[in-house]
A and B are shown apart, each in its own frame.
Chain A
């Protein structure tokens, strides 16, 4: 994945937008985007509601949306559900954090030393495509059903996403900016802090967004397959007790978690990258 740090421009106003009169149509355009999005969700739920009532689907294995949402509401009132959500968020969050810190530090160091980068490139290209799920047996051997099993998978999967982005970011430092920094006698640390870090930040955040999604997938997978506590394990339990509506409700819950994670990272991106062309939008000259 070599996704560049450009985001398809949502209709949000950049943090530094001048407070003058808004160009006509811009505010209403973003309102329209949101309302179109809501329309889509309503249509989807409607289809889901109606499909089980037709002969095309068996309501036992595809309960209508209303049933699933009611089950979800019911579940959401239990401590067990929130305990599972907490376990999932904990495994996901700490795994992502470990991966992010390790990938950022290593990426900055390796990216700044061309020789090191050349030496490690082929190894990285070998290790990176290994699917994290292939490590499940190893994780079980090492840590059993402990949270550390989940962490191993999550960290491995998220690390590469972020690491590769940081490497790209470090390589993207503008030569003129680099010469400027050197001509003003900025030392190595100052150059990393004031030049390399801000240049790599958009890449890092893109990596973080990709890594966050992968980390959530691996968290749920580990809980499903290994049986460490969390939403994934709850889904497995619901499945074995023959409660499809609970399975669906929990799947919806993981989906909501994914949306929240993505929204969160995007909010961080908008704040941290208010100066970046992808965020500052029409303000630029």
Chain B
């Protein structure tokens, strides 16, 4: 494990610090350990992807980081402040966009709601909503309802809602697992574009190795049962990425093979237990 000796890809303080995180679900029939002992840090402005075999506790980890679930042990800190409830400078994009958006609100209403709760003045809200919708390419759909849009467009609305919130940390929980391949490629490029434009720290959870390598500056590989950070791969691909050339580059294939190998190893390790 090289997580602590890894050279920082960008200068800046840790914006997200997960230390010794453990989560056990208790039930009448005994307890299930979802996350064993997780430690990792993200620098300000970093885009890191988290991959792991299915059932390795990715969603549990994300909910603990988001302050939606209390960990059994360990700590999560954003900007040095410990997380006990959803922190004010963090936004989450869920996989189930259809259930995460409110069907009774328009696209604009959905994006604006968290800003109202932040008590931002109307003019500021309008500016943020318009900027966010323009950034995801939905400036013309502000008055539609989410259910009038396609799946990919709905996830764009959810992303716009997160962007307008002006988070320092953006968490994405397998956000493109439910959209078709072409839409998925477009949305991946959108996420990279938004990350560069809005200078957020992004933690992107996915089960798709290609997606993780294509998107991230770093890929954290989780092992399953017990869940620990098995490997921390720096993705030294050029900053400007392109679905065609990046994915066919020699280096992309090598990195992909390395992450793939780590995941296979993680699976075998858990099978031996």
Residue ranges of A at the interface with B (Cβ–Cβ < 8 Å): 16, 174, 176-177, 179-180, 182-187, 190, 194-195, 198, 201, 275-277, 280, 283-285
The 4 closest A-B pairs by CB, nearest first: A184-B114, A176-B99, A198-B104, A183-B92
Give bound CA distance, A106 to B151, whole Å.
37
B47 near A: Cβ within 8 Å?
no
A186 near B117: Cβ-Cβ < 8 Å: yes
Number of interface residues of B (CB under 8 A): 30
The minimal Cβ–Cβ distance linking A228 to chain B, given in whole angstroms, is 40
Q: In the complex, how many residue pairs between chain A and chain B have their CB atoms under 8 Å apart?
A: 69
Apart from A176-B100, A179-B94, A180-B100, what 16 extra A-B contacts exist at CB < 8 Å? Answer: A179-B100, A180-B94, A182-B68, A182-B86, A183-B86, A184-B161, A184-B165, A185-B85, A185-B117, A185-B118, A194-B102, A195-B102, A275-B103, A283-B148, A284-B147, A285-B150
What would be 26 A-B contacts, judged by CB atoms less than 8 Å apart?
A176-B94, A176-B100, A177-B100, A179-B63, A182-B68, A183-B90, A183-B91, A183-B92, A184-B114, A184-B165, A185-B86, A185-B88, A185-B118, A186-B113, A186-B117, A194-B113, A195-B102, A198-B104, A201-B104, A275-B103, A275-B104, A275-B145, A276-B103, A276-B104, A285-B147, A285-B148
* A177/B147 in contact, CB under 8 A: no
A187 near B117 (CB under 8 angstroms)?
yes
Mark interface residues in B79-111 (1 if CB within 8 Å of A CB, else 0).
Answer: 000000110101110101001101111000000
* Contact in complex: B86, A180 (CB < 8 Å): no
Asked if B66 lies at the interface with its beta carbon under 8 angstroms from chain A, I say yes
CB pair B100–A184 under 8 Å, yes or no, is no
Q: Cβ of B257 < 8 Å from any Cβ of A? A: no
A194 to B101 Cα, complex, angstroms:
12
B177 to chain A: which residues have CB within 8 Å? none
Contact with A along B154-185 (1 / 0, CB 8 A): 00000001000100000000000000000000
- Distance to closest chain B CB from A283 (angstroms): 6
Q: Secondary structure of the B side of the interface?
A: loop
* A185, B88: Cα distance in complex, Å: 7
In the assembled complex, the Cα of A195 lies from the Cα of B103 at a distance in Å of 10
Q: How far is the CA of A198 from the CA of B102 in the complex (A)?
A: 9
Residue B120 lies at the interface, judged by CB distance under 8 Å to chain A: no
B149 in the interface (beta carbon within 8 A) = yes
A5 to chain B, nearest CB (A): 13
For B99, give its contact among A174, A190, A275 (CB under 8 Å). Answer: A174
Chain B residues with CB under 8 Å of A179's CB are: 63, 68, 92, 94, 100
Residues of B within 8 A of A (CB): 63, 66-68, 85-86, 88, 90-92, 94, 96, 99-100, 102-105, 113-114, 117-118, 145, 147-151, 161, 165
For B86, list chain A residues within 8 Å (CB).
Answer: 182-185
Taken together as a complex, chains A and B put the C-alpha atoms of A176 and B94 apart, in Å, by 8
Complexed CA–CA distance, A180 and B148 (Å): 20
Q: Within the complex, what minimum Cβ distance (angstroms) separates B6 from chain A?
A: 29
Give the complex CA separation of A211 and B105 in angstroms.
Answer: 28
Contact, CB under 8 Å: B91 / A184: yes
Q: Is the pair A177, B68 in contact by a Cβ cutoff of 8 Å?
A: no
Contact B145 A16 (CB under 8 A): yes
Instruction: Decide if B99 touches A177 in the complex (CB within 8 Å).
Output: yes
* Chain A contacts for B96, CB-based, 8 A: 176
Contact of A180 among B67, B92, B118 (CB under 8 A): B92
User: B150 contacts which chain A residues (CB < 8 A)?
Assistant: 285
Residue of A nearest to B92 (CB): A183
In the complex, how many angstroms separate the beta carbon of B106 from the nearest chain A beta carbon? 9
Query: Taking A283-B148, A285-B148, A285-B150 as contacts, is the C-beta distance between A185 and B99 under 8 angstroms?
Result: no
